[in-house]
């Protein structure tokens, strides 16, 4: 049985002083109405996410939003700026985007307010903001998931590239370096799904082969 009072205190911005008020307000409501009542507004969710990101880092911020999404039913299969449920707003290259979880396993989606071209530079920009994730495109949509690739299983390869390092295994190639354009040029010789990532100052591209 869901303890809506506990959820309200943990995620809704309410305090112990609000318990009597919450008991009265939640009484008689359906489960969905209770969730709607205790869910903080988008402005509060975004403000807390931004504060967490600045003070504790990207992973802590996304962990907060993921747990909030799980507990308050904010996961949505097709998020949009219709904002049926709160999502995180992002400014990417001066354009308005949103970030929402779409599955309970942590898969999330980056979506634009208006139709925008999905470019390599955009995907690397997202990866730089969320370096613990990998970013990939499927059916024209941008998705993010935790970076589960094990670099220890990759062998460094000798190449003639000036700024790009190559490491590989039988099923995965990792390209990394400071020059995104060169990375994408090198990537042209490999076929497979691309995952954009970031590490320190370096852009990273994983390719499943």
Quick one: three-class SS letters along 112-129? ECCCCCCCHHHHHHHHHH
Beta bridge partner(s), residue 134: 145
- Give percent above pLDDT 90 in the chain: 94
- pLDDT tens track for 123-174: 999 999 999 999 999 999 999 999 999 999 999 999 999 899 999 999 999 9
- Give percent above pLDDT 70 in the chain: 100
Q: Which two tokens stand for residue 173?
A: 């190639």
Torsion angles phi and psi, residue 122, rounded to 5: -65, -45
- The band of 1, judged by pLDDT with boundaries at 50, 70 and 90, is low
pLDDT at 161: 92
Tokens 């309970």 found at: 104
- pLDDT tens track for 74-122: 999 999 999 999 999 999 999 999 999 999 999 999 999 999 999 999 9
Q: Contact at 8 Å (CB) between 147 and 135? A: no
> Which pTM was predicted?
0.93
Tell whether the model's pLDDT for residue 64 goes beyond 80.
Answer: yes
Residue 91: name the closest of 55, 74, 116 by CA: 116
Length of the chain: 209
Beta bridge partner(s), residue 109: 100, 143
pLDDT at 97: 99
- The band of 61, judged by pLDDT with boundaries at 50, 70 and 90, is very high
Tell whether the model's pLDDT for residue 12 goes beyond 90.
Answer: no
Rg (C-alpha) for the chain, rounded Å, is 20
User: Could you give the C-alpha distances from 111 to 5, 16, 42, 66, 117, in angstroms and in order?
Assistant: 32, 37, 16, 17, 11
DSSP 13: S
DSSP 144: E
Residue 66: name the closest of 195, 122, 6, 58 by CA: 58
């Amino acid at each position: 049985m869901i303890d809506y009072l506990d959820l309200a205190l943990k995620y809704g911005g309410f305090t112990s002083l609000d318990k009597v008020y919450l008991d009265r307000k939640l009484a008689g409501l359906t489960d969905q109405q209770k969730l709607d009542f205790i869910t903080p507004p988008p402005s509060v969710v975004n403000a807390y996410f931004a504060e967490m990101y600045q003070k504790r880092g990207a992973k802590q911020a996304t962990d907060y939003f993921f747990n909030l999404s799980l507990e308050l039913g904010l996961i949505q299969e097709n998020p949009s700026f219709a904002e049926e449920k709160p999502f995180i707003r992002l400014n990417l290259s001066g354009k308005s985007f949103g970030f929402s979880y779409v599955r309970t396993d942590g898969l999330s989606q980056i979506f634009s307010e208006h139709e925008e071209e999905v470019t390599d530079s955009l995907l690397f920009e997202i990866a730089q903001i969320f370096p613990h994730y990998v970013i990939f495109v499927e059916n024209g949509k941008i998705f993010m998931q935790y970076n589960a690739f094990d670099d220890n299983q990759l062998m460094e390869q000798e190449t003639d590239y000036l700024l790009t390092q190559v490491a590989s295994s039988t099923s995965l190639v990792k390209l990394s370096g400071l020059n995104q354009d060169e990375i994408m040029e090198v990537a042209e010789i490999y076929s497979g799904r691309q995952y954009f990532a970031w590490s320190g100052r370096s852009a990273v591209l994983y390719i499943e082969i």
